[in-house]
Amino acid sequence: MLFRRLVIAAAAVLAMGGLVPVAQAQTGDPSFNLVNRSNRVIYEAYASPSSDSNWGQDRLGQNIVPAGRNFVIRLPQGECIYDLRVVYDRQGGPPEERRNVNLCNLTEVVFDGRPQQGGQQRQAPQQGQTQGPRGNPSFNLVNQGQVVVMEVYASLATDQNWGPDRLGNDTVAPGATFPIRLPEGDCMYDMRFVYQNGQSQERRGVNLCDVTNVTVPLPQ
């Protein structure tokens, strides 16, 4: 009889718990790839939870990130919302900062050398200039050819270099599909595809926010 009462009481507690939602902070893996798209060297990089009052340690340690290169920042799993800061000039030049960035939703964070506060702020276009479309430029690469795709580059159409290979250590076999994740923001990209036979193809000025799949090989 006592055992039955305990079972009923436990069931009631579980039922009450199901009726009262518990608010929890988002958790996940905030590690990311730091991409330097400026024309300067990044000497220091800081990433701390937005709830912290200080920047903490330099995440680069003894490393630096030259212009056009990238560096993987490993962070402990748990909190997702971070503040970021990179230092280009050890003599006191202006740093570049991003605030309240949800790193669990990103694979890379791009720094272009323009000091700004907050991940959403951008420099206003100058008079006579137009600001390009903005959105989510991520896409699926679909290989409909007969040759393995070895490297994929996707960089903003305004950049002067291709940046990192978006496949990393992966390749895309004939008939396979590979998701290419790009940071939300500008939509206009240049792309370059390198095949196993040594040939390559390029496509310029593509609005990736308007497409879901990019099929290779590209039409001649």
pTM of the model: 0.44
- For residues 141 and 105, membership in a common domain is answered with no
- Residue 84 CA to residue 35 CA, distance in Å, equals 13
Contacts of 104 (CB under 8 A, 6+ apart): 26, 27, 28, 29, 30, 80
- For residues 154 and 204, membership in a common domain is answered with yes
pLDDT of residue 26: 56
Closest CA to 158 of 106, 92, 112: 112
Give the count of domains, the chain.
2
- Residue 99 CA to residue 93 CA, distance in Å, equals 19
- For residues 107 and 150, membership in a common domain is answered with no
pLDDT of residue 210: 85
- For residues 144 and 192, membership in a common domain is answered with yes
User: Is residue 22 assigned to a domain?
Assistant: no
Evaluate if residue 102 carries a pLDDT over 80. yes
User: Is residue 116 assigned to a domain?
Assistant: no
Q: What are phi and psi of 203, to 5 degrees?
A: -135, 130
User: Is residue 117 assigned to a domain?
Assistant: no
Model confidence at 92, in pLDDT bands (50, 70, 90)? Answer: low
- For residues 210 and 138, membership in a common domain is answered with yes
The per-residue pLDDT of the chain, averaged, comes to 79
Query: Which position has the token pair 């272009």?
Result: 112
Mean per-residue pLDDT for 10-18? 44
pLDDT of residue 15: 42
127-174 tens-digit pLDDT: 434 457 888 888 889 999 999 999 999 999 888 788 889 998 899 999
Domain range for 90: 27-111
Q: What is the domain-level CATH number for residue 172?
A: 2.60.40.2890
Please give the full DSSP string across 52-118, using - where no structure is assigned: -SS--S-TTTT--B-TT-EEEE---SEE-EEEEEEES-TTT---EEEEEEEGGG-SEEEE-S---SS
Mean per-residue pLDDT for 93-119? 77
186-217 tens-digit pLDDT: 899 999 999 999 899 988 888 998 888 899 99
10 Å CB burial of residue 102 (0-12, 13-18, 19+) is middle
The single-letter DSSP state of residue 172 is: B
User: Is residue 48 assigned to a domain?
Assistant: yes
Q: In percent, how much of the chain has pLDDT > 90?
A: 30
- Residue 213 CA to residue 76 CA, distance in Å, equals 33
Q: Chain-centre distance of CA 179, in angstroms? A: 13
